[in-house]
Structure 1
Amino acid sequence: MAATRADPALRFDAGTPWLDLLATVGGAYGSAPTERLEGVSELTAWLAHEGLTPREPVTEADVAAARDVREALRPVALAVLANDEVDVVALEALQPWLDRDEPLRVLSHAGRPIVEAPRTVNVALARICRQAVEHLTGPERDHLGACADAECHMAFLDPTGRRRWCSAERCGVRARVRAHRAKTRSGRDK
């Protein structure tokens, strides 16, 4: 059976920015992964959606940095999801990113408190890394799930504990179609 190519569009349905960053590779665990952070425009759009638009312009080096953070987070998240021991080297790979974090500054906008935008993409990535570490070491860890589709396996935050698919409209539909086809084939083979 041919591999299904993941949708190249950015996804924002994992429940939190650090998991949305992991989802910037579609089908990451299958035979045909799809890079969704192709360049500056995609990273700029992703950061804007997550409320992390930096005050300094986004560069190609920032795209590479975002991919590096994503791939540093992936093995830690997978180990936690599998309830496995987390490799110390994988944890150490996160520390340089955490060290780039800067204190949050609260500002007033139209009488409401807001967090000042990160100065650079590296600071934005440090905030994402901090959020990931807080979730992976705190009570949110118990609410992490992964898509039941073996090629997708997208991680997501699932406070209800009922979510099976990254998206019922994507992987859920594909699973139902595969099950229907298998049932149809087995019926013909009798």
Structure 2
Amino acid sequence: MEFRLLGPFEADHRGEPVLAGTRRQERCLLAVLLLEDGRVVTTERLIDLLWHGSPPASARGTVHTYIGRLRARLRPHGVVLATRHDGYALTPGPHGLDVREFLDLTARASATGDPAERLRCHDRALALWRGPLLADVADDALRGRLGGRLLQLRLSALEQRAELLLAMGRHDRLLADLPLHDGELTSLAPRERLVRAVMTALYRAGRQGEALALYRHTRRTLVETLGVEPGAELAALHERILRADPRLDRPPAPLYAVRVGEEWLPWSAGGHPALEFCNTFAGWGAPAPPPGSDWLRRYSTLAVWAGHQDLAAPPLVEALLRQAAQHPDEAAAVLTEARAFRSALYACLTDPQDGTAFGEVAAVVRRATRAAVFTRGEDGLAQWRLPPSAGLPLPLYAAARAAAELLAEPRRLTVQRCPSADCGWLFLDAGGRRRWCSLATCGAAADRGTPAP
């Protein structure tokens, strides 16, 4: 069974509706039990919710009748409504529930330090909403009593997602996914954090007038409904838009980054392509990296990185970008694998005894080797190279071949990790005298002494 509450109530088994023709109150009762997800709901609470505190004398018997009908419809599909003292509970089972999936995804988004993964979790969580909670079985008053926490989580996810997109320079996508018709303007007004993100996106899209109109609407709503003026951050953004502050035109550049075409890549600090692949804008050590701290966010960035490291010729990079635009799902799969490979390679380079990590790296290296061809270059020297037929995985394979070369060389024994909790960059240290990476990306060198040359 699959139950969907984030929008009109739906219940189906293998694509076929199960509760078609049942009374609205019966579906509402089942929705309440589903929202509690295994916890007991007393009969008194069910009566209070179904009749808004003004039940008829027959309410208790009616609830009992509803439970009996629902049991008869759901039992053949393995869904059990159990009686518990003076109440009822939906026995946990293999049935699917969009509310549970939404809560799991928002929790995963909060727990991950990878901005790209956080964005994917938010995207999937918000896509589950097909309209207001229980749109066809609950009125606004009941919806507020049942789904206040869910609504707050949804708005919080919208805010975090909007800020992630701005940090990634994707204001166009933010606006495309959040059309600003009047109803949504009203819902945005009390959420100043989300309003700030949308105003910034509108300004970057050349829609200054709409950004200012959104501010006026928000201010009017706050004053009329709450009796307060907009907060200092929103008011300051309004002033910056009025004077066309050029710093609003683009997201802040990541620390320790270089612009290559349309992509931000980390400074070269490791001394080898395999190490550059592992390093990030802000290093690996921060417990909660800020949005945009990791360079490996899009397939296009991965392809441009391969060209920047001379692992793929410019015409080949352009061809990969066109192919990725035509096959976005395949490109996304390669990007996911590249992130996993990077984590395994980092573990392998920082702990030579990690056999699991080495095995994961070796598996990708073997695939890269099978895709490579042995040719003679214009200088007459033979070489291994990755041909265009390698397809979208080519940048990943290029990183894997670079990793294989480093792991097979004595230089691999000179790889060091910057020990700062805010850094963790990898670098080659043949002299064995440097405690910290040479760029000191993790903070003020004066606090710990200047790294040895």
**TM superposition score normalised by structure 2:** 0.33
Match of 1:35 in 2: 294
Could you tell me how far 1:51 is from its partner in structure 2? 1.1
Match of 2:438 in 1: 167
Question: Does the Cα contact within 8 Å between 1:29 and 1:153 map onto a contact in 2?
Answer: yes
CA gap of 1:8–1:114, structure 2 versus 1, over 3 A, is farther
Matched letter for residue 86 of structure 1: D
CA gap of 1:148–1:118, structure 2 versus 1, over 3 A, is farther
Matched letter for residue 339 of structure 2: R
Could you tell me how far 1:19 is from its partner in structure 2? 0.5
Aligned ranges 1:64-75 → 2 under 5 Å: 64-75=336-347
Once the two structures are superposed, residues 26-74 of structure 1 have per-residue CA deviations (whole angstroms, 9 ceiling, x without a partner) of 3312213322112133223211111122735143333223212211212
Runs of 5+ unmatched residues, structure 2: 1-253, 258-264, 325-330
Partner of 2:377: helix, strand, or coil? Answer: strand
Decide which of 92, 97, 101 is 2:364's aligned counterpart.
97
- Residue correspondences, number: 166
Could you tell me how far 1:132 is from its partner in structure 2? 2.1
Match of 1:86 in 2: 354
Asked if residue 57 in structure 1 is aligned to residue 320 in structure 2, the reply is: yes
Counterparts of 2:380 and 2:348, CA distance in 1? 36
Once the two structures are superposed, residues 121-171 of structure 1 have per-residue CA deviations (whole angstroms, 9 ceiling, x without a partner) of 534423432332342343112221121323212111122333332234533
Decide which of 255, 266, 288 is 1:7's aligned counterpart.
255
Match of 2:173 in 1: none
Question: Does the Cα contact within 8 Å between 1:14 and 1:157 map onto a contact in 2?
Answer: yes
Matched letter for residue 95 of structure 1: A
CA gap of 1:65–1:130, structure 2 versus 1, over 3 A, is same
CA gap of 1:169–1:141, structure 2 versus 1, over 3 A, is closer
Partner of 1:26: helix, strand, or coil? Answer: coil
Counterparts of 1:64 and 1:26, CA distance in 2? 20
Counterparts of 1:161 and 1:179, CA distance in 2? 18
Matched letter for residue 100 of structure 1: R
Asked if residue 136 in structure 1 is aligned to residue 407 in structure 2, the reply is: yes
| Deviation beyond 3 Å, 4+ runs, structure 1 | 111-118
Counterparts of 2:425 and 2:343, CA distance in 1? 14
Partner of 2:307: helix, strand, or coil? Answer: helix
Runs of 5+ unmatched residues, structure 1: 1-5, 181-190
Question: Does the Cα contact within 8 Å between 1:17 and 1:50 map onto a contact in 2?
Answer: yes
Question: Does the Cα contact within 8 Å between 2:302 and 2:395 map onto a contact in 1?
Answer: no
Question: Does the Cα contact within 8 Å between 1:53 and 1:118 map onto a contact in 2?
Answer: no
Asked if residue 21 in structure 1 is aligned to residue 277 in structure 2, the reply is: yes
Partner of 1:105: helix, strand, or coil? Answer: strand
Once the two structures are superposed, residues 77-107 of structure 1 have per-residue CA deviations (whole angstroms, 9 ceiling, x without a partner) of 1203xxxx223x2222123311222234332
CA gap of 1:95–1:118, structure 2 versus 1, over 3 A, is same
Counterparts of 1:66 and 1:38, CA distance in 2? 10
Decide which of 357, 368, 377 is 1:107's aligned counterpart.
377
CA gap of 1:32–1:57, structure 2 versus 1, over 3 A, is same
Match of 2:95 in 1: none
**More relative contact order, 1 or 2 (CA 8 Å, 6+ apart):** 1
CA gap of 1:159–1:179, structure 2 versus 1, over 3 A, is closer
Percent of aligned positions that are identical: 28
Matched letter for residue 91 of structure 1: F
Counterparts of 2:413 and 2:357, CA distance in 1? 20
CA gap of 1:28–1:14, structure 2 versus 1, over 3 A, is same
Match of 1:188 in 2: none
Structure of larger gyration radius: 2
Match of 2:305 in 1: 46
Question: Does the Cα contact within 8 Å between 2:349 and 2:415 map onto a contact in 1?
Answer: no
Counterparts of 2:448 and 2:409, CA distance in 1? 37
Give the alignment's Cα RMSD to 1 decimal. Answer: 2.9
**TM superposition score normalised by structure 1:** 0.70
